[in-house]
Amino acid sequence: MSTIETKKVKFKVFRFNADEDYLPYYDEYDMDVTSEDVVLDVLNRIKWEHDGSFSYRRSCRHGICGACAIKVNGRSTLACKERMFDMVELFGEELTLDPLSQKRAIKDMIIDKGDFWEKHAAVTPYLVADIEEEPESENIVSPEDEHKLLDADLCIQCGACHYACPVVEINEEYFGPAAFAAAYRFSADVRDEDKERLKNVNKMGQGVWDCVKCFECAEVCPKEINPIEKITKLHQMAFQEGVAENNVAVRHAVGFKKSIQKRGVLDEGGLVLYSEGCGIVKHVPVALKMFKKGKIALPWNIPTSENMDEIKKLVKSSSTAKF
Amino acid sequence: MSKLKYALFTGCTAKQSTPEQYMSTMAVAKKLGIELVELVEASCCGASHLQDYDEFLSLVLNARNIAYAEKHGLTMVTICNTCQLNTAMTKHKLDNDPELKAKVNEKLAEVGLEYKGTSKITHFLYAIIDDIGLDKIKEMVVKPLSQFNIAPFYGCHNIRPSELANEGHKTPESPYRPTSLDDLIIACGGEAVDYEEKNKCCGFHVELQAPKTAAVLTGNAIAGAMDNNADMMVTPCPLCHLKLDTQAEHAGEAIGRELEMPVLHMQQMVGLALGCDPKELGLQHHVVDVNFV
Ligand code: SF4
Ligand code: SF4
Ligand code: FES
């Protein structure tokens, strides 16, 4: 039998009561944590042994309800799943506990998750299908078709990814990784007949084209759902289903193929011109600065890959998407 | 130790908007006694944008690039985080899906190539750390950067997704507490600045479609370094470099404060410490002057 180890940890804990406090503050607690503890055990002990007014959400204690996500040293995590010792190993013996989003804090670890739910609702997170009430046979989904959903079904809506996403913080319209994973879940379902959802998540500002591809969501998800994988699929589906709009983001993606077909390597200036069209003028001031420093290759100096014939042939034979 | 030899995948920017990155890669490799065989046949990695449009095509093109490294029997070294992500992701997908690999190879056969999966793929930063070693770098330093506070900026695609990133190198790196670049700064004699944004995103990939998001992210990164008394930033990624070096003014407007920060490529920092000539490292190609060396 393995023995239980203990470590001393200093916790800095975010405290705030929206009804009473003008500003948040941190309380410090020195506690022993054991190799058996998960983060939630520490939250419980703070409440039970130190301060009964300390507030946080939890219910299932089994990684199912999605209520207990918080941040440890800035990292989103599911409190009932994350092992304390792993956190100590990663960040050392001083740990800071914060709510998922400080600016949305209501009381201590509890936040107003309203924006998360609004965005979830906005992507039509259900099957839209005209199904007969009394069908003659079952609506069978083949294992291959089921497999296409990947693991998007496993989301517990904990919000860990949403509040780790840098774009959610900057752009209020942006749906966020969990909503996109949900959108993918239903748009990839063979029974679903809703094209509006795909159009909706492809709109600039709110949609997938505003994702910065930072992979924070893939990293934090306690269910290993990899939301950005679904975001990439939604991009691809927009082309497959013919809903991709002719905008700067779409032209940018398509422009890569055009450039590769021509030179193998990218013609950076050409790509910006193709993507932006007349919008290119706004890049002129920076481009001039760059030009002065020898950072812009003139058309006759843009390199071309060797064995271009191979690249041209492969682009022709291996293309699977149209715009 | 036999001479280190790699297949170099330069990526596109090193030949256009960040010429200094190519120059400094060559200069540092020479100093370190590394032989680089440039993959002149390689095409663009798709930068994760082609992947949004046509995934299969991007796999075929990246597999072709890797096949050339395999032909040389060499590890492929990348000098751009996003090139690293896209080539490594291609390798991961093909090595774990025989059916997909066969499909891709069917296409490559048309041009007489085959993807086998025999070459490792790693970013130059990790090649230096894993194959040369920080101790050796420390020994070789002739101009320690001891008077400088240097803020490491890791760039997303070298550290996330971590499972993939860690396939390429020996010392696993935590995306929440990365250390490689800090260690390299220290090996070069500098002081590594700790700040919140060092493992965050620079916003490069939405520069065109979401300029505000891109500018705020760049702004936060530079501001974080400035607020922690950095004299300069250093990054292994030319795309991050482009944002930090050429977009500081926009970024400053977006977050409402003046920003300016000299930014070195990882190779330039090592080069300076090893005594390379600043000209040879291409410092004259920066928008924000690096005039203290
Ligand atoms: S990859 Fe996209 S969705 Fe995921 S956290 Fe980053 S910006 Fe947000
Ligand atoms: S995708 Fe993962 S991290 Fe995001 S809400 Fe769902 S379970 Fe939580
Ligand atoms: S308490 Fe339900 S997921 Fe943690």
Could you read off the pLDDT of A256-283 as tens digits, one per residue?
999 999 999 998 888 988 898 888 888 8
Average pLDDT of span A190-198:
94
Query: B150 pairs with which residues across the strands?
Result: B192, B232
Q: With a 6 A CB cut-off, is A68 part of the ligand 3 pocket?
A: yes
Residue B39 has pLDDT above 90, yes or no: yes
Residues in chain A within 8 Å Cβ distance of B49: 252-253, 256
Q: What are A200-252's pLDDT values in tens digits?
A: 999 999 999 999 999 999 999 999 999 999 999 999 999 999 999 999 999 99
Other CB atoms within a 10 A radius of the CB of residue B215 amount to 24
Instruction: Give residue-wise pLDDT tens across range B181-202.
Output: 999 999 999 999 999 999 999 9
Asked if residue B144 has a cis previous peptide bond (ω within 30° of 0), the answer is no
Cβ(A58) to ligand 3 under 6 A?
yes
pLDDT at B1 over 60: no
Strand partners, B7: B37, B76
Strand order in the sheet with B191-192: B191-192, B149-152, B232-235, B263-265
Nearest CA-CA partner of B180 in B249, B81, B73 = B81
Running DSSP on this structure, what letter comes out for residue B194? P
Rounded mean pLDDT, B92-113: 98
Nearest CA-CA distance, residue A318 and chain B, Å: 5
Tokens of A50: 């130190």
pLDDT exceeds 90 at position B30: yes
Question: Pairing between strand B263-265 and B232-235?
Answer: parallel
β-partners of residue A107 are A17, A110
pLDDT confidence bin for A138, thresholds 50/70/90: confident
Task: Give the distance (Å) from ligand 3 centre to CA of residue A158.
Answer: 8
- Chain A and chain B share a number of CB contacts under 8 A equal to 202
Contact B53 A321 (CB under 8 A): yes
Q: Look up residue A323 and give its two tokens.
A: 């715009």
| pLDDT of the residue at B52 | 96
Distances in Å between the alpha carbon of B41 and those of A216, A303, B90?
33, 11, 18
pLDDT digits (tens, 9 = 90+) for A7-16: 999 999 999 9
pLDDT bracket for residue B205 (50, 70, 90): very high
Mean pLDDT value of segment B25-36? 98
Residue of A nearest to B17 (CA): A295
**Considering CB atoms only, which of A75, A218, A232 is closest to B161?**
A218
Percent of chain B scoring above 90 in pLDDT: 96
Nearest to B167 by CA among B122, B134, B207: B122
CA–CA gap between residue A226 and residue B234 (Å, rounded): 29
CB contact under 8 A, B246 and A213: no
B81, pLDDT greater than 90: yes
- Domain annotation for chain B: domains and CATH numbers: 4-123 (1.20.1050.140), 134-285 (3.40.50.11810)
Reply yes or no on whether the pLDDT at A46 is more than 90. Answer: yes
pLDDT digits (tens, 9 = 90+) for B255-290: 999 999 999 999 999 999 999 999 999 999 999 999
Which atom of ligand 3 is the closest one to the Cα of A64? 3
**A266 contacts in chain B (CB < 8 Å):** 12, 16, 44, 47
Query: Which residue ranges have their beta carbon within 6 Å of ligand 2?
Result: A 155-161, 177-178, 181, 220-221, 223, 225, 227
CA distance A217 to B72: 37
Q: What is the pLDDT of residues B147-164, one digit of tens each?
A: 999 999 999 999 999 999
Question: A161 CA to middle of ligand 1, Å?
Answer: 8
CB atoms within 10 A of CB A254: 23
Cβ(B39)–Cβ(B76) below 8 Å: yes
Query: Which pLDDT does position B256 carry in this prediction?
Result: 97
Using a CB-CB distance cutoff of 8 angstroms, which residues of chain B are in contact with residue A177? none
Domains in chain A, CATH or no CATH each: 6-111 (3.10.20.30), 114-240 (1.10.1060.10), 248-318 (no CATH)
The model's pLDDT over A147-161, given as tens digits with 9 standing for 90+, comes to: 999 999 999 999 999
Burial class (CB in 10 A: 0-12, 13-18, 19+), A142: exposed
- Reported confidence tier of residue A1, pLDDT bands at 50, 70, 90: low
B positions 100-119 inside 8 Å of A (CB): 107-108, 110-111, 113
User: Looking at residues B70-87, what average pLDDT do you find?
Assistant: 98
Are B15 and A265 within 8 A, CB to CB? yes
State the burial class of residue B120 (Cβ atoms within 10 Å of its Cβ: 0-12, 13-18, 19+).
middle
CB-CB under 8 Å, A236 with B208: no
**Average of per-residue pLDDT across A286-314:** 91
- Residue B293 has a pLDDT of 65
Are A102 and A14 within 8 A, CB to CB? yes
CB pair distance less than 8 Å for B284 and A294:
yes
Q: Cβ A90–B174 below 8 Å, yes or no?
A: yes
Residue B69 has pLDDT above 60, yes or no: yes
